[in-house]
Copies of this chain bind each other. A is one copy, B any other.
Amino acid sequence: MLSPLIALLERYMPLEPAERQALQELANQPRRFPAGADLVLEGDRPKEARLLLSGQAFRHKTLADGRRQIMSFHVPGELLDVQGLFMTMDHSVCALTPCEAAVIPHPKLVAMFEAHPRLALAFWRMNLVEGAVFREWMLGIGRRDAYARVAHLFCEVLIRLRAAGLSDGARAAFPVTQQHLSDALGLSAVHTNRVLQQLRGQGLLSFSGGELVVMDWAGLQAAGEFDPAYLHLSEAN
């Protein structure tokens, strides 16, 4: 049941049987969330951690007047609120599709970390990759123009969905609206739409009905100045 998590961890660090066993013991009845529901709520001080098992979700902060910044998109296997282990949540995580999440009491998680310090390091490592993605997004929002930013995001999304086994090749379900894209990119919805049409017009991709199809990977990569190194996908420990 926790196989998405185990697959993610095992990509970098071969797990010992005892460690795999300890992970399995985290499993319990998953909780379901409908699309649009909050999996994690800003201001909350959770007593358990949520591990995404199926579906897609996104992390976001919203200002008083409604302006919103989406900070990341999430695929199964990812722990959504590590932050809640140590402090109050300073942002929310919202379900993009119907989701299932394992809800793991903090004491259980901490006990596992203390019994298997290497697992703590493995989770920490996952967390560091998330930080690397934040930094790349900052670079994009701060220093790239809208065109490169949109292209870059689609490159990243395709690669990450593929790594999560949610795409074979050039096609993937990515059920976001143009408003979601805008909020992730720091653009207005109107301008996102303009850029999208440009990318479509150049035959780089198609994106509609929540399905992304990349038709010219090299072209899209060039348009987004995309270098996947920051995703640290093929780096063994």
Assembly stoichiometry (copies): 2
* Interface presence of A132 (CB below 8 A): yes
Secondary structure at the A interface, as helix, strand, loop or mixed, is helix
Complex interface bits, A175-199 against B, C-beta within 8 A gives 1, otherwise 0: 0000000000110000000000000
Per the 8 Å Cβ criterion, residues 129-146 of A in contact with B are: 129-132, 134-139, 141-144
- Closest B-chain residue to A68, C-beta based? B143
CA distance A136 to B230 in the complex (A): 20
CA distance A230 to B217 in the complex (A): 38
Write the nearest CB–CB distance from A108 to chain B, whole angstroms: 14
Which residues of A does B touch, CB under 8 Å? 12, 59, 61, 63-64, 67-69, 71, 82-83, 85-88, 90-91, 110, 113-114, 117-118, 120-121, 124-125, 127-132, 134-139, 141-144, 185-186, 225, 229-230, 232, 235, 237
What are the 7 tightest A-B residue pairs by CB atom distance, in nearest-first order?
A142-B186, A134-B134, A69-B139, A86-B125, A67-B143, A114-B117, A90-B230
